[in-house]
Structure 1
């Protein structure tokens, strides 16, 4: 059931508790906003540029995944399959920590940055209260 969380993101949460002593790394985190301090413990910063494909049924999202694996572009498959209001190729734009549901956020921050032509996406799909998501990240800051 909880397979979508296997990205190992859980370890970062435990480390966040000890974040108070983060002043040691002075050179790195000096200029950021305070609320972003926890995010600096995980590489990738506090924002991700995300695209996704959302399907209510697992069978449909798996079909979309197969299309991407066989060479179709992520945004084209998103336009055809995604049941989300962000039908513009699945582009959700820049999202910050705390603005996404837990499993989606964990997956988004665990993924490397990739391109539409050669996407790295969640496999297996991530299950949230909205349905099943294929997620890819186009940028981090």
Structure 2
């Protein structure tokens, strides 16, 4: 079934991204975490402060992404109508998305170069928003995997 291949491809991309992210969070040899940013290793606990400092959209090298993926245009448009009626993004994703590998459409943090072209362009063009009042791609983005409604929850 073609959708299984799509899901495996997305999972593979996510795994590659996580490996890249872990490698980029490690300080260079001999630097002991005191590089230019002055933050040290992984989670510094200031993600929300980082989001606000980055501005509404563009910039950054990584985005925290959610999406709704449907193979058929008609189904993605049904999901779009639910979002426009005020339904929470994660609930619409759970109901409509054919990407069952990710609960609520959460793909986590993704870096530039780890996403397919149209998806990446849309993700980095969107402002940061929340589940209750998401700012999402309208119209949906078409990729080789199907149609996506994308929202961005963070940027760094």
TM-score by length of 2: 0.63
1:105 aligns with 2:115: no
Looking at structure 2, the residues matched to 89 and 83 of structure 1 have their Cα atoms a distance apart, in angstroms, of: 11
Q: Is the 8 A contact 1:86 1:92 kept in 2?
A: no
How many Å separate the matches in 2 of 1:56 and 1:125?
11
Displacement after TM superposition at 1:87 (Å)? 3.4
Q: 1:31 aligns with which of 33, 36, 41?
A: 36
In structure 2, how many angstroms separate the alpha carbons of the residues matched to 1:119 and 1:60? 19
May I ask how many residue pairs the two structures share in their alignment? 103
CA distance in 1, matches of 2:66, 2:101: 9
Task: Structure 1: give runs of 5+ residues left out of the alignment.
Answer: 1-29, 33-41
Contact 2:58 2:126 in 1 (8 A): no
Q: SS of 2:104's equivalent?
A: coil
Match of 2:102 in 1: 87
Aligned pair 1:139/2:154, yes or no?
A: yes
Q: Which residue number corresponds to residue 26 of structure 1? A: none
Aligned-partner SS, 2:123: helix
What TM-score do the two structures reach when normalised by structure 1? 0.70
Show structure 2 runs of 5+ residues with no match: 1-34, 38-56
Q: CA deviation at 1:31?
A: 3.3
Q: Is the 8 A contact 1:55 1:133 kept in 2?
A: yes
Which runs of 4 or more aligned residues in structure 1 lie more than 4 Å from their structure 2 counterparts after TM superposition? none
What is the Cα-based RMSD across aligned positions, in Å?
1.6
- Corresponding residue to 1:56 among 62, 66, 71: 71
Q: 1:28-84: CA deviations, max 9, x gaps?
A: xx937xxxxxxxxx9431000000000000000000000010010000000010001
CA offsets, 1:88-131, max 9 Å, x none? Answer: 10000000001000000000000000000000000000000000
